[in-house]
Amino acid sequence: MLIFLIGFMGSGKTTLGKPLAARLGYRFIDLDKAIEEGEGSTVGEIFAVRGEAHFRTLEHKYLQDIVSHGGDLVVSTGGGTPCFGGNMELMNASGVTVYFKLSPAMLADRLSAAKVCRPLLAGKSPEELLRYIVDTLAVREAYYGRANVVVANPSRDVAKLVAILGPYLSRS
């Protein structure tokens, strides 16, 4: 069974994916990290040197590769993954998609501390950051909203997440 964690930058996909996988006895893959390891460059470097379109091509290729191998796996996707290249359809056809839904204000709070690592947020003032999140989320909700499961404000206590996902896991 493949479980895909989706949601905006800062929603906690990477942070919660690893303990969720451990709890379920599944393998864990962070898509951004898989791309970085496979390409030998950081996401920031790929954006800077080759541009976002190239990153999206890589992101789709690495996702297809993960799907083709299958298995019991939690995949923490990148914030933009569902919104490009038919990736949302691919994930919904191959496993369970779980949307971590947070308000723009909560995302801005989390991201203002760490925005240097995220090329799409680099150099933004707090006001610009919040505006970017509101505007981008408005577009991305159309993709995120197609998830099989929506989890509002996911807690660090992954037992809660396991309980929410239980009915979906027993179907496999």
Ligand X SMILES: O=C(O)C1=C[C@@H](O)[C@@H](O)[C@H](O)C1
From the annotation, which residues make up the binding site? 10-15, 32, 56, 79, 118, 140, 156
- Distance separating alpha carbons of residues 169 and 96, to the nearest angstrom: 9
Rounded least distance, CB 136 to ligand X, Å: 8
Strand partners for 149: 98
Residues near ligand X (CB under 6 A) are 9, 32, 43, 78-80, 118-120
Binders of Mg ion among 71-110, rule CB under 5 A? Answer: none
Distance of alpha carbon 121 from the chain centroid? 16
With CB under 5 to 8 Å by kind, the binding choice for 56 among Mg ion, ligand X, ligand ATP, none is none
Asked if residue 9 binds ligand ATP (CB under 6 A), the reply is yes
Of residues 111, 104, 64, the one with CA closest to residue 84: 64
- Distance separating alpha carbons of residues 14 and 4, to the nearest angstrom: 11
Comparing CB distances to Mg ion, the nearer of 37 and 167 is 37
Asked if residue 97 binds ligand ATP (CB under 6 A), the reply is no
Asked if residue 59 binds ligand ATP (CB under 6 A), the reply is no
Of residues 43, 141, 158, the one with CA closest to residue 101: 141
> Applying CB under 6 A, which of residues 22, 48, 105, 114 lies at the interface with ligand ATP?
114
Rounded least distance, CB 171 to Mg ion, Å: 27
Comparing CB distances to ligand X, the nearer of 135 and 157 is 135
Comparing CB distances to ligand ATP, the nearer of 16 and 67 is 16
Cα angle, residue 82 at apex, residues 31 and 170 outer, rounded to 5°: 80
* Number of helices (H), then strands (E), in the chain: 8, 5
With CB under 5 to 8 Å by kind, the binding choice for 120 among Mg ion, ligand X, ligand ATP, none is ligand X
- Sheet with 27-30, side-by-side order of all strands: 27-30, 73-76, 2-6, 96-101, 149-152
Comparing CB distances to ligand ATP, the nearer of 9 and 96 is 9
